[in-house]
Structure 1
Amino acid sequence: MSQMFDFEVPSCDGLAFIPLSVRYHLDAGDRRISLAQWQALPMADRERLSDFPVPEAGHDAAATADCVACLDRALAAAGSAPALDEQSTASGTGVPGLGEDAPAAPESVCRQAALHGMAPPDEAAWRRLGRFQRYALLKLSRKDKPNHDFRAAMQEFGLG
C-alpha cells in the first residue's frame, strides 16, 4: 500500500474503503465503482489495485489504463458488474481541478479549510503540493460539510 497517505490508514484499515490512489485512477479513467463492489473484491485484488503508482506531476495515462484494466478483470472474476463509465470532468485527465496551471487552491478547498477553522493554502503552498496531494484535498473537499480527514490531510501536507 505504498500509495496511501498516513491520514488514510485509519479510514482504510484492512482496505475496507477505497483508497485515494484507487479513486485517483478511477477518476482519471472516468470510471466509478460502488463501495459494495470494492468490498466484494478479494483482499489480494484490493492490495494490487492500491499499489498502482500515482504521478506527482503530469498524468500517467498508461498507469491509469493498467489500473482500470486490472479492476475490470477483478470485478469480472468476483462476479460483479464492470466499473461504470462517467463523463470526463476535467482538463484532459478526468481528474477535476488538477490542471497543471491551477495557480491557487480551488474554492472547495478554501471552503473546507474554513469549515475546519483553518487558513486555506496560499498560492505558493498550493503550487508546492504534488498532484496527488492536490487531488486528495480536492476529493476531501467535495461536500459542504466538514470532512473527517481534511484537517489531518492539511497537517500531513504541511498546511496546518
Structure 2
Amino acid sequence: MQTAAFTKHLFQYEQDKYYPLRRIPMNMRLKLDLCGIKLSIGDWSKFSREDREKLVMMPYEKPEEIAAIRKRLLELIAACEGDSTETEPVRSPAPWTATSSVPATVCKQIEALGLSAPTQEQWADLSDVQRFALLKLTREGHENKKLPLALKEFGLLV
C-alpha cells in the first residue's frame, strides 16, 4: 500500500518508529477475539505489510464482516504454515461493550499506578475499542508500561 490510511485505525501509544504494524495493534486484537483466533506474533510478522494493513482496516461491526476476517486470517496462517490456534469467539455481548460500570480489574490496575480510575460516565463515553484496550492493558498479572499513555490518549489522564 502506498498510503498510511491504516494508521487512523491505530492508537498513538501503539505507534512504532520503525513500522506501526510491527506488533499486533488493539484494533486487530479486538478482531481476533471476535473471530476466535489466537494469533502468534510470529505469524503476524510473517504476513506481508499489505496483508497486515488490509486486516487492520477491515470492518468488524457485522457477523459477516467478522466471518470475512476469520476466513482471511485462516488463509494467511495456512499460507505461512503458522502456529496460531483457534479459540472460542467472544460471546455477545462482549465485555468491552458494557458501559454501566467500570470493571474492577480496570480500576484496580489504574489505582495501583497511583492514578484515578475513570468514572462510569467517562467509561461509557469511550469507544468500544478504547474500552477493549483498557481491559487488555489492565489484565491481572499483566504489566503494561503503555497504560498511562493510553489513559492520556483517551482523555482520562490530565
What range is the shorter-chain TM-score in? 0.7 to 0.9
**Amino acid across the alignment from 1:23:** R
How far, CA to CA, are the matches of 2:125 and 2:59 in structure 1? Answer: 20
| Equivalent in the alignment of 1:69 | 71
**Secondary structure in structure 2 of the residue aligned to 1:15:** coil
**Aligned pair count?**
151
* RMSD after superposition: 2.1
| Equivalent in the alignment of 1:79 | 81
How far, CA to CA, are the matches of 1:119 and 1:53 in structure 2? Answer: 33
Alpha-carbon shift at residue 143 of structure 1 (Å) = 3.3
**1:40-91: CA deviation from partner (whole Å, max 9, x where unpaired):** 112221111111235xxxx53222222121111222222324x42223454x
Q: Name structure 1 gaps, 5 residues minimum.
A: none
Q: Is the CA contact (8 Å cut-off) linking 2:102 and 2:120 kept in structure 1?
A: yes
| Equivalent in the alignment of 2:57 | 51
Alpha-carbon shift at residue 116 of structure 1 (Å) = 2.0
Alpha-carbon shift at residue 126 of structure 1 (Å) = 0.6
How far, CA to CA, are the matches of 1:135 and 1:145 in structure 2? Answer: 15
**1:111-156: CA deviation from partner (whole Å, max 9, x where unpaired):** 2211221101111111111111101111111133541111111111
More helix as a share of residues = 2
Q: TM-score, normalised by structure 1?
A: 0.83
Q: Name structure 2 gaps, 5 residues minimum.
A: 1-5
- Pair 49,89 (structure 1): closer, same or farther in 2 beyond 3 Å: closer
Q: TM-score, normalised by structure 2?
A: 0.83
Q: Is the CA contact (8 Å cut-off) linking 2:102 and 2:118 kept in structure 1?
A: yes
| Equivalent in the alignment of 1:20 | 26
Q: Give the % identical residues.
A: 27
| Equivalent in the alignment of 2:148 | 151
**Secondary structure in structure 1 of the residue aligned to 2:96:** coil
How far, CA to CA, are the matches of 1:7 and 1:67 in structure 2? Answer: 24
Q: Does 2:44 match 1:38?
A: yes
